[in-house]
Amino acid sequence: QSVLTQPPSASGTPGQRVTVSCSGSTSNIGRNTVNWYQQLPGTAPKVLIYLNNQRPSGVPDRFSGSKSGTSASLAISGLQSGDEADYYCAAWDDSLKGWVFGGGTKLTVL
């Protein structure tokens, strides 16, 4: 059971906008920033969003992050087939004194 809660799956058609939610608590998302990672099949995770809503260079602006209270969201607009991947949220947990992750959301492009 992961500390951060994500839906196990999400889907959309090409061009659509989809969102992935991440629910936590006051000890993690409520007090600290959230990162999002994309893991394509058979590869290492890649930083998609850091500090709630910042994109590393090279990440398209189709990807955006937001946070409110103890929850965070990743939005993907203009969905493409290459976006099929697992998406994970993560945050520092002040009580556990460590990084905690969501269980991952598998995105399918129909």
Partner 1 sequence: QVQLQQSGPGLVKPSQTLSLTCAVSGDSVSSKSATWNWIRQSPSRGLEWLGRTYYRSKWYNEYAVSVKSRATINPDTSKNQFSLHLKSVTPEDTAVYYCANLDSVWGQGTQVTVSS
Residues lying near partner 1 in the complex (CB under 8 A) are found at: 2, 35, 37, 44-47, 50-51, 56-57, 88, 90, 96-101, 103-104
Nearest to partner 1 of 70, 101 (CB atom): 101
> Distance between CA atoms of 42 and 71, rounded to whole angstroms?
28
Q: Compute the least distance from the CB of residue 81 to partner 1, in Å.
A: 23
CB of 16 to partner 1, least distance (A): 27
Minimal distance, residue 2 CB to partner 1, in Å: 6
Strand pairing report for 9-12 and 105-109:
parallel
CB burial of residue 105 (10 Å; 0-12, 13-18, 19+): buried
Of the candidates 107, 77, 69, 105, which has an alpha carbon nearest to the alpha carbon of residue 89?
105
For partner 1, the closer CB: 18 or 100: 100
Query: Which is nearer to partner 1, 40 or 110 (by Cβ)?
Result: 40
Cβ proximity to partner 1: between 75 and 101 the closer is 101
Query: What's the half-sphere exposure (Cβ side, CA atoms, 13 Å) at 30?
Result: 7
